C-alpha cells in the first residue's frame, strides 16, 4: 500500500484552497454520494479527482471487495481469534443463508430474534410480570462497552418511538452509577437485563450482584430471578448466576461486542420501542449491507466515508476527527463511534504481526451541535491544528410544533460547514470593524477576528431520524471502519489493547485493601496506592 504516495498526492491537493474547487464542474454533486434517502457530501474537503482515483486504486490493491465478500459469507476474517465476523447476519432479515463452517446460521438468528420479540412484547404489554406483581415499569440494562454503548445510544436516538417501559443503562463500576440509576426506581417493578457477551466482565458482574441484592431486599432472593434476563454467549455462566434459561438470549462468537446492538444486546431497546420499530432499524442496517456489498466505490456511502477518513488521517496527518451530529438525541453517538472506530482500528500491528507502516485509525471525538459551537468550535475554527469535521443532520425533526427550532438547528449546521470552508480574511475583518476602531488598534482587533477557513468537513444529511435511518447510519459507520481496517492491513475485530489494564487492575485491588504491599511497583504507582489507602475507606 503506497501510503507515501497518498501523502504526496494529498499534500499537493491541499495547496489548492478548497473553496476554489467549487469553480470546477459541479464539484458538490461529483464529490457526494446520494443513495436511498441519504446524502453524503464530501465536497468541502481538499480531495481532488487524482486523490480519489488513487484511493480507489488502493481500495482495490488492498483487496477490499474480496475481504468484504469473505466477511458477508462467514470467512474467518478475525484471524487472531479465528472467528467469522457476521454481525450482518443479525440484520439479514429477508436474505439468504449465511454459512459458518457449512452450517446456515440464519435459522438460529431468526429464532433468537423471535424469542426476543416474544419476551419484549410480553414485558411491554404486561403479560410478563414480576412474581405476583404488576407490569414492569422500568428496565435497567447492565453492561459495558459494546454491551452498553449501542443500546444506550440507540435508545436515546429513538426516544420519539418509546412506548414501552422506561429504559436505563448502568455501565460504570463506579458505585455512583448504579446507585444513582436505582435511586428513583421501585425494585418490585424493575427488570434487570445483564448484558455481557462473556459474562465475566468485572464491571458488569459487580453491578449485576449489586442489582440482585437491591431486588432481593425488596422481593426476597427466591423471587429475584423473575426480575432478571441475560444477554450472553456464556450460558453456563448465566445459569450459575441463577438466570432462567428461558430468559437468556445468546449469540455466537461471530458477533463482536461493539457490533452487537443488532441482536440480543439490543433487547432493552426492543422493549422500549417494540419489535416492529426494532425490525425497522435492522432493515435499515440490511439496506446498508446490500448497498455496501453491491455498489461501486464512488457511489458507495461507507466506502467514500472511509476513503475520506484515510485522506485526512493517513494522507494529511490529521490525527483526530470530530463527529458532530446536529441531533440532540445522537449525543451518545460520538461515544459509540469511539468504541467502534478506536477499539477496531486503534492498533499498531498489521494482521501478520508486523509494525503498521502508517498511523492507525484516528482519534474520534465529538458532541452534538449546537452545544459544541459554544464550547470547542473555537479551536476548530481558529486553532493551529486542523480537525476534519463530520457533520450530520436530519432535514426534519420529530417535534412538529417546534419546526422553527429545527430550522435553526439545520441553519447552524450548514452555516458551520460553510464557515469552516470560507473563513474570513483580514480585509473582511477590518471592514467589519472600521467604524469601531482605527489605526493600529483596528489592525490588532481585526487579526483576532480572522478565520483561516479552508478547513475540511463532510456532511451526512437524512430526512428524519427514524429507526430505519438510524440502522442505515450505524451500519454505514461499521462498514467504514471495516474498509479503513482492511486498507490499513490490521484486524478490526480483536481488542488485545484492553487487556493489560484489566490484568493490572486485578493485581491492584489487594494493594488498596492493604492485604499486600505495593512492592515492585514504580514510585508513582506506590505513592498513589499509599494516598488512596490513607484517604480511602
CA dihedral 342, 318, 57, 292 (to 10 degrees): 40
Comparison of 66 and 505: residue with beta carbon closer to ligand F6P: 505
How many angstroms separate the Cα of 530 from the Cα of each of 177, 297, 522?
Answer: 26, 57, 12
Q: Is 83 in the site for ligand F6P (CB under 6 A)?
A: no
Q: Is 80 in the site for ligand F6P (CB under 6 A)?
A: no
Overall size of the chain counted in residues: 537
Q: Is 257 in the site for ligand F6P (CB under 6 A)?
A: yes
Active-site residue, 428 included: no
Helix (H) or strand (E) holding 140: strand 138-142
Question: Residue 484 and residue 478: Cα distance in Å, rounded?
Answer: 10
Edge to edge, the sheet with strand 457-462 lists 32-35, 38-41, 457-462, 389-394, 320-326, 363-365
Comparison of 40 and 251: residue with beta carbon closer to ligand F6P: 251
Q: Show contacts with ligand F6P in window 8-27 (CB under 6 A).
A: none
Contact pattern from residue 86 through residue 115 relative to ligand F6P, giving x for each residue in contact according to CB under 6 A and a dash for the rest = ------------------------------
Q: Look up residue 312 and give its DSSP letter.
A: I
Indicate which single residue of 52, 124, 197, 227 sits in contact with ligand F6P (rule: CB under 6 A). 197
Q: Is 43 in the site for ligand F6P (CB under 6 A)?
A: no
In the complex, the smallest distance separating the C-beta of residue 242 from ligand F6P, rounded to whole angstroms, is 18
Do residues 199 and 230 touch, judged by C-beta distance below 8 A? yes
Q: Is 201 in the site for ligand F6P (CB under 6 A)?
A: yes
Q: Is 78 in the site for ligand F6P (CB under 6 A)?
A: no
Q: Is 268 in the site for ligand F6P (CB under 6 A)?
A: no
Map residue 154 onto helix, strand or coil. Answer: helix
DSSP string, 504-516: HHHHHHHHHHTSS
Map residue 340 onto helix, strand or coil. Answer: helix
How many angstroms separate the Cα of 50 from the Cα of each of 17, 56, 261, 417?
Answer: 16, 10, 38, 24
Residue among 299, 502, 509, 517 flagged as catalytic: 502
In the complex, the smallest distance separating the C-beta of residue 177 from ligand F6P, rounded to whole angstroms, is 15
Map residue 13 onto helix, strand or coil. Answer: helix
Contact pattern from residue 497 through residue 516 relative to ligand F6P, giving x for each residue in contact according to CB under 6 A and a dash for the rest = -x------------------
How many residues sit close enough to ligand F6P to count as binding (CB under 6 A)?
A: 14
Residue among 14, 252, 343, 484 flagged as catalytic: 343
Comparison of 230 and 380: residue with beta carbon closer to ligand F6P: 230
Q: Is 318 in the site for ligand F6P (CB under 6 A)?
A: no
Q: Is 370 in the site for ligand F6P (CB under 6 A)?
A: no
Residue 218, all three cell numbers: 425488596
Comparison of 255 and 460: residue with beta carbon closer to ligand F6P: 255
Residue 82, all three cell numbers: 479465528
Q: Is 204 in the site for ligand F6P (CB under 6 A)?
A: yes
Contact pattern from residue 127 through residue 156 relative to ligand F6P, giving x for each residue in contact according to CB under 6 A and a dash for the rest = -----------------xxxx---------
In the complex, the smallest distance separating the C-beta of residue 198 from ligand F6P, rounded to whole angstroms, is 3
Indicate which single residue of 362, 495, 508, 511 sits in contact with ligand F6P (rule: CB under 6 A). 495
Do residues 464 and 394 touch, judged by C-beta distance below 8 A? yes
Q: Checking DSSP bridges between strand 103-104 and strand 99-100, what pairing results, if any?
A: antiparallel
Question: Residue 157 and residue 160: Cα distance in Å, rounded?
Answer: 8
Comparison of 348 and 536: residue with beta carbon closer to ligand F6P: 348
Active-site residue, 374 included: yes
Q: Is 207 in the site for ligand F6P (CB under 6 A)?
A: no
Q: Which of the ranges 28-36, 194-202, 412-420, 468-476 carries the binding residues for ligand F6P, by CB under 6 A? A: 194-202
Comparison of 92 and 204: residue with beta carbon closer to ligand F6P: 204
Q: Is 472 in the site for ligand F6P (CB under 6 A)?
A: no
Indicate which single residue of 190, 196, 308, 345 sits in contact with ligand F6P (rule: CB under 6 A). 196
Do residues 270 and 113 touch, judged by C-beta distance below 8 A? no
Residue among 101, 374, 448, 503 flagged as catalytic: 374
Do residues 263 and 108 touch, judged by C-beta distance below 8 A? no
Question: Residue 461 and residue 34: Cα distance in Å, rounded?
Answer: 10
In the complex, the smallest distance separating the C-beta of residue 471 from ligand F6P, rounded to whole angstroms, is 20
Residue 528, all three cell numbers: 498513589
Q: Look up residue 29 and give its DSSP letter.
A: H
Q: Show contacts with ligand F6P in window 281-310 (CB under 6 A).
A: none
Angle at 141 (CA atoms; ends 370, 162), nearest 5 degrees: 55
Q: What number of other Cβ atoms are within 10 A of residue 440's Cβ?
A: 8
Comparison of 200 and 405: residue with beta carbon closer to ligand F6P: 200
What crossing angle do the helices spanning 523-535 and 499-513 adopt, rounded to 10°?
A: 50
User: How many Cα neighbours within 13 Å face the side chain of 401?
Assistant: 0
Q: Which residues of the chain form contacts with ligand F6P (CB under 6 A)?
A: 144-147, 196-198, 201, 204, 257-258, 343, 495, 498
Catalytic residues: 343, 374, 502
Amino acid at each position: 500500500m503506497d501510503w507515501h504516495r497518498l501523502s504526496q498526492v494529498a499534500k499537493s491537493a491541499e495547496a489548492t484552497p478548497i473553496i476554489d474547487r467549487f469553480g470546477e464542474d459541479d464539484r458538490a454533486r461529483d464529490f457526494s454520494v446520494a443513495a436511498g434517502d441519504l446524502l453524503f457530501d464530501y465536497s468541502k474537503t481538499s480531495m481532488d479527482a487524482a486523490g480519489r482515483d488513487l484511493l480507489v486504486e488502493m481500495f482495490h490493491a488492498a483487496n477490499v471487495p474480496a475481504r468484504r465478500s469473505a466477511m458477508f459469507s462467514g470467512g474467518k476474517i478475525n484471524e487472531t481469534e479465528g472467528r467469522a465476523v457476521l454481525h450482518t447476519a443479525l440484520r439479514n432479515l429477508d436474505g439468504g443463508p449465511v454459512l459458518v463452517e457449512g452450517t446456515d446460521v440464519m435459522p438460529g438468528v431468526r429464532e433468537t430474534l423471535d424469542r426476543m420479540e416474544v419476551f419484549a412484547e410480553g414485558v411491554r404489554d404486561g403479560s410478563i410480570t414480576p412474581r405476583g406483581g404488576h407490569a414492569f415499569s422500568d428496565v435497567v440494562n447492565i453492561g459495558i462497552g459494546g454491551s452498553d454503548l449501542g443500546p444506550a445510544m440507540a435508545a436515546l436516538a429513538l426516544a420519539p418511538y418509546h412506548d414501552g417501559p422506561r429504559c436505563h443503562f448502568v455501565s460504570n463500576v463506579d458505585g455512583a452509577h448504579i446507585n444513582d440509576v436505582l435511586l428513583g426506581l421501585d425494585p418490585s417493578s424493575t427488570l434487570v437485563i445483564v448484558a455481557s457477551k462473556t459474562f465475566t466482565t468485572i464491571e458488569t458482574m459487580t453491578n449485576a450482584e449489586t442489582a440482585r441484592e437491591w431486588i432481593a431486599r425488596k422481593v426476597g432472593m427466591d423471587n429475584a430471578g423473575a426480575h432478571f434476563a441475560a444477554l450472553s454467549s456464556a450460558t453456563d455462566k448465566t445459569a450459575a448466576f441463577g438466570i432462567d434459561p428461558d430468559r437468556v438470549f445468546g449469540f455466537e462468537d461471530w458477533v463482536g461486542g461493539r457490533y452487537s446492538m443488532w441482536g440480543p444486546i439490543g433487547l432493552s431497546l426492543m422493549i422500549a420501542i417494540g419489535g416492529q420499530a426494532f425490525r425497522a432499524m435492522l432493515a435499515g442496517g440490511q439496506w446498508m449491507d446490500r448497498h455496501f456489498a453491491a455498489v461501486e466505490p464512488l457511489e458507495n456511502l461507507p466506502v467514500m466515508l472511509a476513503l475520506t477518513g484515510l485522506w485526512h488521517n493517513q494522507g494529511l496527518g490529521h490525527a483526530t476527527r470530530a463527529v458532530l451530529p446536529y441531533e440532540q438525541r445522537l449525543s451518545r453517538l460520538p461515544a459509540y463511534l469511539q468504541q467502534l472506530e478506536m477499539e477496531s482500528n486503534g492498533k499498531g500491528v498489521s494482521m501478520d504481526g508486523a509494525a503498521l507502516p502508517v498511523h492507525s485509525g484516528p482519534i474520534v471525538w465529538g458532541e452534538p451541535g449546537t452545544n459544541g459551537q459554544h464550547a470547542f468550535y473555537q479551536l476548530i475554527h481558529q486553532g493551529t491544528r486542523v480537525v476534519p469535521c463530520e457533520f450530520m443532520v436530519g432535514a426534519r425533526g420529530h417535534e412538529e410544533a417546534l419546526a422553527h427550532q429545527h430550522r435553526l438547528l439545520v441553519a447552524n449546521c450548514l452555516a458551520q460547514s460553510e464557515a469552516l470552508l470560507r473563513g474570513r480574511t483580514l480585509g473582511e475583518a477590518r471592514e467589519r470593524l472600521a467604524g469601531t476602531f482605527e489605526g493600529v488598534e483596528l489592525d490588532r482587533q481585526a487579526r483576532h477576528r480572522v478565520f483561516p477557513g479552508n478547513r475540511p468537513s463532510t456532511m451526512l444529511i437524512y430526512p428524519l431520524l427514524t429507526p430505519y435511518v438510524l440502522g442505515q447510519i450505524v451500519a454505514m459507520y461499521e462498514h467504514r471502519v471495516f474498509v479503513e481496517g482492511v486498507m490499513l492491513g490490521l484486524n478490526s475485530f480483536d481488542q488485545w489493547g484492553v487487556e493489560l489494564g484489566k490484568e493490572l487492575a486485578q493485581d491492584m485491588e489487594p494493594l488498596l485493601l492493604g492485604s499486600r504491599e505495593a512492592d515492585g511497583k514504580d514510585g508513582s504507582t506506590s505513592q498513589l496506592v499509599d494516598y488512596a489507602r490513607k484517604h480511602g475507606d
